Amino acid sequence: MINFLFNYLKYIFNVGKKWILVWMFAPGIYMLILPFAFGNESTKKVLIDGQKEGLESSGMAENQLLLNAFGIDDWQSIWTMEGIVTGYIMNLFLPLLVAIAVIGLVNKIGAKAEEDGTFEFVASLPFTRTMIITTHSLVLILLGLIIPLVWIHFIYIPTLFMDINLNYGSLLASLLQSSLGGITFAAIALGIGAATGKASLGWAAGIGLLAFEWISGMLAGNTEFFEFIRDWFSSFGAYNNPYINGLDAGNLLLVIIKTIIFLMIGFWGFRNRSLNLK
């Protein structure tokens, strides 16, 4: 089993190397904007203070729907480096990016490979279906944790040379909660894709759940149903601000249970259907 895992993981990383490298570094390089925006006074005045003044003068800062759409509790909380990373990036964009990055890879090595006919090579090897879907699940979880870890270091490392203070341990706590949130969307994509052999259904399930939970967060202040979804089911956001308050066991348990349930759908479906081999 260990030898199989090593060889199959090597095959997966070889097949998905380009996708992994692009998603590992492109968002991280983009996030370099943040430390340089806050670390230089003139740049901060243009990019940060200018945006703040524009929002306040337009009255948009009081729009609760807009705040909910971006996962922000209070506009005033995001005009510092700590605030924008933990109260904005972690709440919305990081789970979103993790979901898209990992869904793309697990579809590429799973349902999409079946549709393209490239999965025949894997199916011809002496691997059981349980071994294959277990490996796909491990890849999903590992990359869902490692890729955003790389991104956040593009933000953190430059701050060491600037007059910006970020608590590394607290940053990792927020990162863990948000990454696990993104992993849940990828998990349902893998589960549905593995159960049906249809890459399009995998994408639809992952992005569909993501959209539903995001819209629920937007409308939570207006409808009790959406408020219930946001508070008890949604994977979006670093709940209870782990950067300040630390990780909450209940919040972690929520995203872990969702991930397990979605992956079990894939285990059951993949082991009990005919493969789309050409």
Asked whether residue 191 is domain-assigned, the answer is yes
Beta-carbon contacts of 61 under 8 Å, excluding residues fewer than 6 positions away, are: 55, 75
Asked whether residue 119 is domain-assigned, the answer is yes
* pLDDT at residue 88 in the model: 78
Within 10 angstroms of residue 211's Cβ, the number of other Cβ atoms is: 11
pLDDT digits (tens, 9 = 90+) for 76-128: 777 778 888 887 788 888 999 999 999 999 988 888 877 777 766 666 667 78
Report the candidate in 182, 153, 185, 154 with the shortest Cα–Cα distance to residue 92.
182
Asked whether residue 71 is domain-assigned, the answer is no
* pLDDT at residue 148 in the model: 95
Token pair belonging to 45: 């005045």
Overall average pLDDT of the 15-31 stretch: 90
Task: Give, in order, the Cα–Cα distances in Å from 197 to each of 67, 114, 121.
Answer: 38, 7, 16
Q: What sign does the dihedral 99-101-106-112 (CA atoms) show? A: positive
* CA separation for the pair 130, 133 (Å, rounded): 5
* CA separation for the pair 64, 207 (Å, rounded): 24
* pLDDT at residue 64 in the model: 67
Asked whether residue 31 is domain-assigned, the answer is no
pLDDT digits (tens, 9 = 90+) for 245-258: 888 888 899 999 99
For the chain, what percent of residues have pLDDT higher than 90? 37
User: 24 with 147: CB under 8 angstroms?
Assistant: yes
Per-residue pLDDT band at 49 (split at 50, 70, 90): low
* CA separation for the pair 226, 233 (Å, rounded): 10
Within 10 angstroms of residue 115's Cβ, the number of other Cβ atoms is: 16
User: 103 with 199: CB under 8 angstroms?
Assistant: no
What mean pLDDT is reported for the chain? 84
Per-residue pLDDT band at 272 (split at 50, 70, 90): confident
Per-residue burial over 73-105, b if 16 or more Cβ lie within 10 Å, else e, is eebeebeebbbbbbbbbbbbbbbbbbbbbbbbb
Q: Is the model's pLDDT at 24 over the cut of 80?
A: yes
* pLDDT at residue 38 in the model: 81
Token pair belonging to 152: 């956040």
Asked whether residue 18 is domain-assigned, the answer is yes
Per-residue pLDDT band at 220 (split at 50, 70, 90): confident
Asked whether residue 239 is domain-assigned, the answer is yes
* pLDDT at residue 175 in the model: 93
Per-residue pLDDT band at 156 (split at 50, 70, 90): very high
Structural domain boundaries enclosing 249: 2-24+91-152+159-271
H helix runs in the chain, sequence order: 2-15, 17-31, 33-39, 41-44, 50-58, 64-69, 81-84, 94-109, 111-116, 120-123, 129-159, 168-196, 199-219, 224-232, 242-245, 249-271
How many structural domains does the chain have? 1
